[in-house]
Amino acid sequence: MGKLVYGAITSLDGFIEDDHGNFDWAEPKEDVHRYINDLESGNEIQIYGRKMYETMLFWESDKNFKDFPEYIQEYGKTWQKARKVVYSRTL
């Protein structure tokens, strides 16, 4: 049986988006990004809701992150390898 790892990014007061619906405030610094890379490197399946999946589609194409630092490119490759399951009534 596999291990389930649950992660959620929220502000200290529980918000996911800013007042304009943006998520960019949550971009991790290098040390946190490397931790997430290690944590997710063994993931075979990722489960998303529709909005988060649409946000994460950035990682689908290498060209979107080819000029980013190595640790960010590493995350993109990890994301691409994992199968995705999206729970949505509209997709």
Is 73 contained in some domain?
yes
3-state SS assignment for residue 80: helix
Residue 11 in this model has a pLDDT that exceeds 90: no
The number of folded domains in the chain is 1
Residue 23 in this model has a pLDDT that exceeds 90: no
pTM, 2 dp: 0.79
- Whether residue 4 lies inside any domain: the answer is no
Burial class of residue 82, CB neighbours in 10 A (0-12, 13-18, 19+) = middle
Q: With 80 as the cut, is the pLDDT of residue 38 above it?
A: yes
| 52 in a structural domain | yes
Asked whether residue 5 is assigned to any structural domain, the reply reads no
Residue 16 within a domain: no
Residue 70 has pLDDT above 80, yes or no: yes
Residue range of the domain that includes 69: 30-87
Strands 83-87 and 45-49: parallel
- pLDDT at position 74 is 96
Asked if the structure places residue 57 within a domain, the reply is: yes
Q: Is the pLDDT at 71 greater than 90, yes or no?
A: yes
